[in-house]
Structure 1
Amino acid sequence: MNDTEVQEFWIGSFRYRLLLRSPGAIALLLMGGYSRKVGDLRNAFEEYDPFQKWEDYDPDDFALTGDEDLGVDVFSLKRECVNRIAGWVNRARPGFFSISPSTERKEPLYDRISQEVASKIRGYTNQKINRSYQFYRQPL
């Protein structure tokens, strides 16, 4: 069974999309918003690559998505993501899921996120493999 739940939310002036996949990797995407450092993210993206359309925006390929460059409220974003992930896991009970940072610089933050998620869910074991945090449902 391959289900994906999509949740969209705002943190400050940034709009995010959280893709919760069962089984599979959880993904957090920056979908739009405004930063005092770069202005409207849609316009910044168009300036970054004027031949691309906003609809073709891929957070993995977009240099401006590094949170440290945009002024994102990291604490609020972390809290919101941990609560949404834990709520989904406790409700959907996926057999397996993983959480992975997009950059090496974010790895320490993902250490804390994974620990917090693990403390809010029951019946799962987890381990870190390279930079990915793997969660497996334990048999009853």
Structure 2
Amino acid sequence: MPVDTTQISLPLPEPSEKKWKISPSDGEFSNSAYMVKELGYSREALALQEGDAFSATLPRSSEALTVTLAFVPTHPAGNERLEVKGDIEGEKPCYISYETYGRSEEWKNNVLRNQALRSITLPPSSKERKISIQALTAAVILDELIIRAM
């Protein structure tokens, strides 16, 4: 079947969404934390033990930002949940926990996606801000931070 070469395609529209990804190699982390090469979407997930921290710089934005923490789904070690503390420069610290029970819908989605996602919404800022993620329990594996301007 011959190909119709008389039609012209239009260029793809520019995406209206601003999106950034921060992987563990883009930030700083505690000496006892370590990167696991080829694990996760970032292909360099960061294994954090209790008390370990990861920090990075968030972009400035005239719009609100949604920061999504993407973790590799793991089982808690000795606890019922995995928990981290998010500390963003100029904001109140937030505590984020993730746990699933049995074969819940969230568990299925985490396993199928190979990421457990939790989000924080931040107000606009004309300057860059530092974000710090500290593991409050053992066995936290951070894959990447996904930042979207809203």
TM-score, scaled relative to structure 2: 0.33
Structure with greater proportional strand content? 2
Return the structure number with greater relative CO, CA threshold 8 A, min gap 6. Answer: 2
Structure with greater proportional helix content? 1
Q: Which has the larger radius of gyration?
A: 2
